[in-house]
Amino acid sequence: MTAPDLASLTSSAYQQALEVIASVEPRIAEATRQELADQRGSLKLIASENYASPAVLLTMGTWFSDKYAEGTVGHRFYAGCQNVDTVEALAAEHARELFGAEYAYAQPHSGIDANLVAFWSILAHRVEGPWLANAEKKNVNDLTEADWESLRRELGNQRLLGMSLDAGGHLTHGFRPNISGKMFHQQQYGTDPETGLLDYDAVAAKAREFKPLVLVAGYSAYPRRVNFAKMREIADEVGATLMVDMAHFAGLVAGKVFTGDEDPVPHAHIVTTTTHKSLRGPRGGMVLATEEYAPSVDRGCPMVLGGPLSHVMAAKAVAFAEARRPEFGTYAQAVADNAQSLAGGLLSRGAKLVTGGTDNHLVLIDVSSFGLTGRQAESALLDAGIVTNRNSVPADPNGAWYTSGIRIGTPALTTRGFGHDEFDRTADLIVEVLRNTEPGTTKAGTPSQASYRLADGVADKVKDASAEMLDKHPLYPGLDLA
C-alpha cells in the first residue's frame, strides 16, 4: 500500500472513531482532537515521550480490551483466551529477537510494574526458593503460620543498591517515598562530584561494603552511557543480582546504537523497560531475563500484577515488529546524533549542562546559571510552546520538587523528522527563553522558587519560530480530523 493510501485510511479511521466517541461523550472527542492539535503545535522535548505510529495506536482500540487473561500463555485462569495467547506469544517472540534476550515477559502495565515484577522475581528466586528448600517445603502452600512469619522476615530484610535520584536514577531504584525504598534496606550510589560521571570504582567499593542482594543500573536523567559489563563484574564480586532499568534508552539498544558493553541485555540477569519512550510503542512495560530467572518472572501475575492488558500487549507486538525493521536503526542513530546537536547548540550559547554534554538521547540543563529554578524554567518554556520537565541535578539545593535542572530529549522530535539544523535552532530558542526569564517574589517580597516573569513578546516570538520548523515536519501527516 502506498503512503498516500495509508494516510487516507488512517485519517478516515480516526474521523469515524471520533464520531462514534462523540455520540456518547462529545467532550472526550473534543479533548482528543485538542490533544493532537496541542502536540502538533509544540516542541515536545520531554525525554520520556514519543509519538507511536498509527498502527500501534489503532491496535489498542480493539475488543482485546474486553478480555480477562490472568496467567501465562497456555495456562490461563479464564477460558476463551486462545487469541490472547497468540498476542502475548508474538509480543514475547518479537521482543526476544529484537533484544537478543533469552526470555521476555510482556504483561507489565508500566515501567514501575515491570520493576516490581523484577524485584519480587529476584526475591522469589534468591530468597524464597532457597528458604523453602532449607525448610524442606515443596511450595508456599505447605507453610504454617510460623513458617510464613519466618519467610516474611527473610524477604523483608534484603538489600538494594541503586543510583540516587539526584544523580540521574529513577524513583523506583530505592527512593524512600517509593515502594522500592520501603521493600528493601537500601543505599544509593551517586556520580563524581566534579564530572557528574559514574565512578565504577566508587560503586564497587560501596557494593563491597553494603553487599546488596540487588544492584540496580540504568537511569532516568543521566546523559551518558553506562558500561554494563563493569556493573556485572561488580554484581558478581559481591554476589548480587544485576538488574538494569533501560526504560529510557531501550530504543537505542533495539536500534543497535548501544552495543557490546553498553548493551545491558548480555550482561544483566534481569532487564526492565517501558515500551514507549525511545522504543516508540504503546505505554506499558516489559521484563527481559535469563532462563534462570524466567520461572520467577513468569509468576508476575498474580505475584504483583492483575490481569494483563491484552490490547496493549497486541500494540507492543506491533511496535516490536516495527522496531525490527532496518529503518528503526536509522531512527535510533538519529536520536543520538540529534542529542549531540542539541547539546552542542546549548553549550555554544552558554548553557551549563550536567556532565558537560551527552552521548545518549537526553540533555540535562543546570538552569541555576540563569538564576532560575527548574520549576520556573519549565513554566517559562511551556509559555513559549516548548514542553520539557524539571529535574534534579547532582547535589541539587532545590530538592526534587523545585529542582535546578531541566531534562530534555530528542526521541519525539526526531520521530517528526527534525535534524541537526532544527535541534540547533531549538537550542537557540531554549536559551532565548531562559535568558529572558526572571525569578519572581512571594507576597512577602522574598525570592520565590515558583513564580517568574518572561519578558514581553518573547513567548510569541519563540512560538512563531517553532511553528516554522514544526510546519515542515508535520505530526501524523495526512491525518485530518477537521
Given the residues 32, 49, 70, 230, select the one marked as catalytic: 70
Can 70 be counted among the known catalytic residues?
yes
Can 72 be counted among the known catalytic residues?
no
Given the residues 32, 40, 68, 147, select the one marked as catalytic: 68
Given the residues 72, 191, 273, 274, select the one marked as catalytic: 274
* Closest residue by Cα to residue 263 from 254, 272, 273: 254
Given the residues 67, 280, 283, 425, select the one marked as catalytic: 283
CA 69-82-303 angle, to 5 degrees, is 25
Given the residues 277, 316, 407, 416, select the one marked as catalytic: 277
How far is residue 318's CA from residue 461's CA, in Å, rounded to a whole number?
40
Can 113 be counted among the known catalytic residues?
no
- All cell numbers assigned to 426: 531549538
Can 68 be counted among the known catalytic residues?
yes
Active site residues: 68, 70, 245, 274, 277, 283
